[in-house]
Amino acid sequence: MNEMESYKSFWHGRCVLVTGASGFIGSWLVKKLVELETLVIALVREINPFSLFKRWRLDERTMLVIGDVRDGDLLERIITSYDVSICFHLAAQSLVGAAKTTPLVAFDVNVRGTWTLLEACRKARCVDGIVVASSDKAYGEQETLPYTEDMPLRPTFPYETSKACADLISQCFAMTYEMPISIIRCSNVYGGGDLNFSRIIPGTVKAALHGQRPVIRSDGTPVRDYIYIEDVVSAYISLAQTTCTERLCGEAFNIGLGNPISVLELTKLILELCGVSELEPIIEGVGKPIKEIRCQYVSVEKAKRILGWCPKHDLRNGLLKTIDWYRSFFGIQRGTETWV
């Protein structure tokens, strides 16, 4: 039995709720779940007409619910009415910059949204597994790297603090009420379909494909770990399945490549892969204080050991697939910067 057949034997016919279903990660995850023949209830606040969710017609292939993850009555009705078996909680304010600008929105959505969903699941008593999206940012500054799951969460800035709170609340519900909840802490996720061009990878790819110099807002020295979207989706699926079958309770798992790279090095690699290595990045943050974590990357040994998960894309291959997606999206011919 191959991997897809193994997955289908578990997922076929299950009713699955995905919050934040129309987001970047949510869209890729829902697409995979539909392929696995699950009944997906997609909770979304709104649908961007340019999003993958719309491009892949996932609004027609799922049971679409327009609503807010902070609406407890709505969540309880969905879960109990459709006997939801598994929940993926991805709904969040996911942009670091936006969270810094409007912290109360980030705290309200990311924290209240999490406890509202978990309370609805607790009351329903029909859910076999819950996966909550946290982040490697929740670890904050640590003296030792890579991050491992047994490290205390030490956030500082609004986004990472909101994710750490959601993470701890999930652990609380799991341990207090013996609920099958697992937490996924991904490093920086990238891939085709991310339309938030303020992020380093889509922003740099967009600039490079149009023959423009990319902008680095920091001084280029911060170090991060990047993980391709298809590997992330595989991790979500594996974690949910293991959470149900092994009855995991409050376990957290790091998901990343384990291959840290500086922002400047990453930018130059993207320019090279786009065939415009002669373009020089504009580095805006030189000489300015860095108001972010200097270095972040994770150990994925626990995920490999317990989930049997391993990334299939190295950074170069993942970036090549990503660049090809944006070439198609912008209608740009391979090897040129001219519009088709």
What positions carry a catalytic annotation?
Answer: 159
Cα separation of 127 and 178, whole Å?
Answer: 12
CA distances from 257 to 9, 160, 229 (A): 28, 20, 11
Q: Which of 316, 263, 312 is nearest to 292 (CA)?
A: 263
Give the count of beta carbons closer than 10 Å to the beta carbon of residue 331.
9
Cα separation of 302 and 308, whole Å?
Answer: 9
Inter-residue contact 145 to 223 (CB < 8 Å) = no
Q: Which of 275, 163, 52 is nearest to 153 (CA)?
A: 163
Cα separation of 284 and 264, whole Å?
Answer: 12
Angle at 125 between CA 93 and CA 84, to 5 degrees: 60
End-to-end CA distance of the chain: 44
Q: DSSP per residue over 197-250, as a string? A: TTSHHHHHHHHHHTT---EESS-S--EE-EEEHHHHHHHHHHHHHHHHHHT--S
Identify any residues that bridge with 39 across adjacent strands, giving them in sequence order.
Answer: 15
Q: Which of 36, 34, 20 is nearest to 75 (CA)?
A: 20
**56 Cβ neighbours under 8 A, 6+ residues apart:** 27, 31
